[in-house]
Structure formats: C-alpha cells, structure tokens
Amino acid sequence: MSRLVIIGLDCFVPELAFDRWRSELPALSSLMDRGAYRELTSTVPPITVPAWTAMMTSQDPGQLGIYGFRNRADHSYDNLVFADARYVKAKTVWNYLSRKRLKSLVMGVPQTYPPKPLNGAMVSSFLTPNKDVQYTYPDAFKHDLEAAAGGDYIIDVKDFRTDSKDRLLRDIQEMTTTRFKAFRTLYQKDDYDFAMVVEMGTDRIVHGFWRYCDPEHRLYEAGNPYENVLLDYYKQIDDEIAATLEILADDTSVMIVSDHGAKGMDGAICVNEWLIEKGYLALKSRPEGRFKLRTEMIDWSKTKVWGEGGYYGRIFINVEGREPEGIVPAAEHEAFRRQLAAELAAIPDEDGNDIGTVVYTPEEVYREVNNVAPDLIVYFGDLSWRSAGTIEDGTIHLRENDTGPDDANHAQQGVFIWDQKACRSDERFSIFDIAPTVLRHFGIDVPAHMNGTPIQA
C-alpha cells in the first residue's frame, strides 16, 4: 500500500491544462503521460461549497443538506447560516483513514473550518475568519505551519473582486508560494500515509483576470498588460507541483483534482427583477436605482417566489403552511414549480435569443433532499450567465457581475489526473468517485451509501 498525495486546485480548467497549455506545463503533462486524466464532472451546483465536501465524502449536496455557502436554516425568510465544518455530518476520507490508524495531513480543503480531530494534522480552509481563532488541529500545529510558511501563512487573498489588479496578482502569487512551501515542509516533518492540499489561487485568478486572457471574451483586448497572467500563473502552479513531486518517495501516488472548471461570463440575469415583472414577487416599497434585495423589503402576502444570486440561481416558492406567510397552496406547489421552471428556462437575452438555461429540481439530481433545499436550481445560459440577486431599476439583463469585477463563471467539468494506468475506461469520471478511490487505494471497503465508485479498473 503506497502513500497517496492529492493536490487540489480550485476552479482549475481542463481545457487549459489538457489542451491549450499542456506543452507549457511539463509536470502536469508528465503525470498525464504516466497515468490517466479525464474531465471530472462536478456537483449540481458546481461551486466550492459543497463540491469539495462532496468529493471527500461521496455524498451529493442533497444528502449533505448543503446547497452553497449560505443556506436556509429553516423555512423562515431571514435565517441564513454559513455552511462551515459544523454542518458537515458525513464522514470524510480522513475520518475513515483515522479509524484504520492511517495518518493524514489535510491543508486548505474547503469546509474544514473549524478543524475537527483526526489522526494527523489539519489546516482549515479559506472560510477561516482570521488567525485569532483555532485554525489548525491540533492547535499547537499553527506554530509549525507559520514557521513552514516563512512566518505568515496566507489563508486567502482579500477582495479578489477588485479593480486593483496588480495588488490582486501579487497576493495570489504570494499565497500560492507560501502554501506549497508550507505543505512540502510539513509533509517532510512527519510520516503521513495520506496528504492533501487545496490551492484557492486557481479560483481567484480566473475570477480576477479571465476577461484579459480569453480571446473569446467580449471584453478581451489583444495586447492588454494582463494578457498572459493566467498562463503564467498556471506555469507557477506547474512549478510548485514539480517541486512537490521531487520530495515524494518513489512509491507515492499523486492525484491532481479540481472541484469544477471555469468559463467566460456573458452576463447576468436579474432574477428578482424578472420575478417582479412577472408578478411573482412584490415589494412593500421600491428604492431608486440598484439595490440589494432584503427580506424585510418583500410583501410576503403578495409574493409567490423569490430568488438568490450567485454563480447559479436558487429559487424559493412561498408555500402555504411551509413558509410563515406562504400563499402558494401546497396542493399546487408541484404544478406551479413546473410552470415556473419552464418560464425561467425561456428567459432570452436582450435580443430575444435563447441562452440555453437549464433548470433542475433537487429531487431529480440528489439521492436525498435534506435540510432546506431551493425549489429550483437554475443554470442561466448553462452557466454562461450568472444569477444576479440585486434589483436593477427595471433591468433584467446585466453585462457585468453585480457583486464586483468578475468576468468568469463556474463550469461543470473539473480536472482529474492520476499517475496510475489501471483506471476505468469510462469517458468521464465523477467528483463522487474520488472518495471511493482513496478508500480502495488504502484497502478500505467502500460504504454502500457513497455515490461514486473507485476509479481503479
């Protein structure tokens, strides 16, 4: 049984790593040559939380009861909670390994704050509020971490949706350098059976610089000063992977994964503005200009539906007997939901063209539906358009992000690379296959409740 190291790259793009820039990424290319690589189908929705937890538990968002960073705690209108590690009830791969007395080093995996005990050491993720809290397990491990990082471990870059591009780029590069440096140093200080690190810079870079690097983006200008930023950063990641491979024993297996990919954002659909126009959402009064919708602004006695913004749209129906002031009869809920899904899917662009919106119900994409799920999950333009939660003075369509400069959205397909030849011959692998693969690698039986299957042939 060999050791296993997983390098997670949030929002790493398969089209860039596998095709366009493969010749520029020798470390990644060598892993592909030695083993197997595929696109990795993400969760619905393909967002950091809950995708990484789904990967490490082989549970879908419905089973986890986690549908995004913020979730409704109950059917009231304003009780939202951030889904940190306290809301993760499913066992992760390192839980299973700990029970077999196998030792793990876990660094930066999203949804691990606050850190929980394991056989080994943990550094929590970018959701850690600051360094005044316990962000490592054991707590004293933070001293080793800070020393390994050169004195200042960076949890995440600040304000990545910004016009201060030079500052953002420096912060991303520094964060990446210090994280990999710390990981390599800490890995060599102990004898770990399993180790995993997740780098968030690969996400921050696409959201901050996509328009400057993608010739297909409507705002791209050839010769702009940031034209090669994304390629140069992918080269930096490749260099860090190469340095990491150098410190590993010959019998160590290496896997590269991402939770989802990225694509250019064409625009945003102001879903609540559209609901107002349709007569499904009523406000008590309407401020002028753009404003963020707050629940206290809504006249619930006249509101059937409201929505939330983000990379995808979450739609909630105000159901009688379920919500405090629900007006849609429970007996009509399903018929109304089908009607609403069809209407959302038919929203065109400004010129009346179909944008290819896809709408899901939780019941059709999840094995179970726990906690408070949205009634509908909407991929506007099949994720080429974002869901804007703001009210836009009568405007349904935006050609910019409503929460700050950001010209990329998430894509359904992420990255899988493993230096093992003996992999299934399937054309595509699932994010749910990773946890079963890790367990199989260590000779641990895969529980029946896991959604995925081991990737080994």
Q: Cis omega before residue 50 (within 30°)?
A: yes
Extract the tokens encoding 242: 């190469």
Extract the tokens encoding 357: 């919106």
Extract the tokens encoding 389: 């939660």
How many CB atoms sit inside 10 A of residue 29's CB? Answer: 18
308-333: average pLDDT = 97
Extract the tokens encoding 101: 């007395």
181-187: average pLDDT = 98
* Of 5, 179, 223, residue with least CA distance to 103: 5
19-24: average pLDDT = 98
Residue 163 has pLDDT above 90, yes or no: yes
C-alpha to C-alpha distance for 418 and 422, rounded to whole angstroms: 10
pLDDT, position 392 = 79
Residue 7 has pLDDT above 70, yes or no: yes
pLDDT, position 6 = 98
305-311: average pLDDT = 94
- Mean pLDDT, the chain, whole residue set: 96
Residue 281 has pLDDT above 70, yes or no: yes
Of 277 and 401, more confident: 277
335-358: average pLDDT = 98
C-alpha to C-alpha distance for 405 and 445, rounded to whole angstroms: 46
150-169: average pLDDT = 95
Q: Are 277 and 393 in contact (CB under 8 A)?
A: no
Extract the tokens encoding 192: 């770990």
Tens-place pLDDT, residues 414-455: 999 999 987 888 778 999 999 999 999 999 999 999 999 999
C-alpha to C-alpha distance for 297 and 286, rounded to whole angstroms: 8
Distances (CA, A) of 201 to 189, 226, 261, 262, 287: 25, 16, 13, 13, 37
CATH architecture, domain 4-265+410-441: 3-Layer(aba) Sandwich (3.40)
pLDDT, position 231 = 98
Tens-place pLDDT, residues 193-223: 999 999 999 999 999 999 999 999 999 999 9
C-alpha to C-alpha distance for 237 and 256, rounded to whole angstroms: 11
C-alpha to C-alpha distance for 70 and 55, rounded to whole angstroms: 19
Extract the tokens encoding 127: 């959701």
pLDDT, position 288 = 82
Phi, psi (degrees; rounded to nearest 5) at 67? -115, 5
What spatial distance separates the first Cα and last Cα of the chain, rounded to whole Å?
17
Walk across the sheet containing 397-398 and list its strands.
385-388, 267-270, 397-398
H or E stretch covering 98: helix 93-99
Q: What angle do CA 13, 16, 21 make, to 5 degrees?
A: 150
13-33: average pLDDT = 98
Q: What angle do CA 306, 203, 130 make, to 5 degrees?
A: 85
239-260: average pLDDT = 97
Band of residue 1 on the pLDDT scale cut at 50, 70, 90? low
Q: Delimit the domains of the chain by residue range.
A: 4-265+410-441, 267-405
Residue 457 has pLDDT above 80, yes or no: no
Write the DSSP assignment of 289-319 as a string of letters. SEE---GGGB-GGG-SEEEE-BSSEEEEE-B
C-alpha to C-alpha distance for 18 and 426, rounded to whole angstroms: 17
Residue 340 has pLDDT above 90, yes or no: yes
3-state SS, residue 340: helix
Residue 402 has pLDDT above 80, yes or no: no
Instruction: Kindly give the residue spans of alpha helices, DSSP state H, lying in 159-278.
Output: 165-189, 201-213, 229-247, 271-278
Helices 201-213 & 229-247, crossing angle to 10 degrees?
150
Band of residue 292 on the pLDDT scale cut at 50, 70, 90? confident
320-347: average pLDDT = 98
C-alpha to C-alpha distance for 330 and 334, rounded to whole angstroms: 8
pTM for the model: 0.97
C-alpha to C-alpha distance for 374 and 70, rounded to whole angstroms: 12
pLDDT, position 428 = 83
DSSP 430: E
1-19: average pLDDT = 96
Residue 43 has pLDDT above 90, yes or no: yes
Poorest-confidence range of 80-94, 176-190, 262-276, 391-405?
391-405
Beta-bridge mates of residue 387: 269, 310
CA dihedral 358, 385, 65, 441 (to 10 degrees): 90
C-alpha to C-alpha distance for 188 and 438, rounded to whole angstroms: 21
Burial status of residue 203 (CB atoms within 10 A of its CB: 0-12, 13-18, 19 or more):
buried
